[in-house]
A and B are shown apart, each in its own frame.
Chain A
Amino acid sequence: MHEVAIAEEIRDIVLKKLDKHKAKKVCGIKLVIGELTTIVPDALLFALEVVSEKTPMKGAKIHIKTIKTKAKCAKCKKEFEVADFNYTCPKCRNQDVKVTAGREMIIQTIEME
């Protein structure tokens, strides 16, 4: 549900960049979203469509790249991909780990003209 709030944030950042680069229209946006965030990509795409109505962002092609969740073991320092929400280190079975990837919410590039 909070995809609308996130979409508005994206729109505001993108339109500011458009202004800065003195461009007229946004053709495409590449987003990077970690899988541990609570964002549902389809809901975000729909929200972006709604909030960009009547803006130079209308109709822009949105590409979402999903980042897998990764964690690093505090003991043996192994970095591993978290599958099935299992945060146990696969090497030493330690459960004291730190999340290193998966919470990203980034605008990577904007295509404009």
Chain B
Amino acid sequence: MAEVDVFENIMKRNEEQAEKNKKIIGRALCINIMSSPGAGKTTILERTVERLKKKYKIAVIEGDIATSNDANRIKKFKVPVYQIKTENYGGGCHLDADMVNTALKKINAHRKKYDIIIIENVGNLICPADFSLGEDRKVVVLSVTEGEDKPLKYPLMFQIADAMLLNKIDLVPHLDFNQEELFKNIKKINSKLSLIRLSASHGTYMENWEALLDRWIKEKKWRKKPSH
């Protein structure tokens, strides 16, 4: 019997695939939106696509265990959209770089020169956090009905996110929700997280989210020169 030193990263294959995805994504800004089920990712996406499609070339990748419901909601806006059903990959509770690679090819990401590619991950605050997809920015959505302690219960998600959208703020008057406490908890875990309060269904403060995307798109274009 022999003990062999391996020291190999278990996530290596996913990370290598994510690097390949980055090459396909090129100069587009790619964001990975994550949240628990029902926090409002798809509604935010609908309102975002509605606003951005006038000024940017945009594509959407939807991730769910089953159904094409979310992709159908985005199709109305006549932008390229591809639905990943993780049940076809063994019922995964998260997207991985392989699945996104397939989706990027389906939306012709290498040829179409998008300004922005938005990935909506499977609704889950746990598993998606461990899988890099090749995205530039990670965005976590939290709705006010979920409570102030979620960042403490799911620390990795809030630790790795670049921005957090606090959704459904129109409901605050009806809830026992302590925003100060939430912000205190977030600051403890990730002081650099950009916080945006909004209500996607009412269209409140969507301009702040749009401004952040404008800035990220500009930063990415400025940073990355054309490859040829």
Contacts and interface: CB of A to CB of B under 8 A. Distances in A.
Interface of A: 1-2, 4-6, 9-10, 12-13, 17, 21, 23, 27-28, 31, 36-39, 85-88, 95-97, 99, 103, 105-113
B189 interface: yes
A36 B4 contact: no
Interface residues of B, number: 37
B152 interface: yes
B100 to A, nearest CB: 14
A110 B156 contact: no
Interface stretch (B41-49, B110-118, B122-130): B122-130
B156 A96 contact: no
A106 B10 contact: yes
5 closest cross-chain pairs (CB), A and B: A95-B191, A2-B127, A105-B10, A1-B93, A113-B1
B6 A9 contact: no
Interface string B154-187: 1110010000000000000000000000000001
Contact of A2 (B7, B9, B94, B187): B94
Given A85-B188, A96-B192, A112-B1, A37 B130 contact: yes
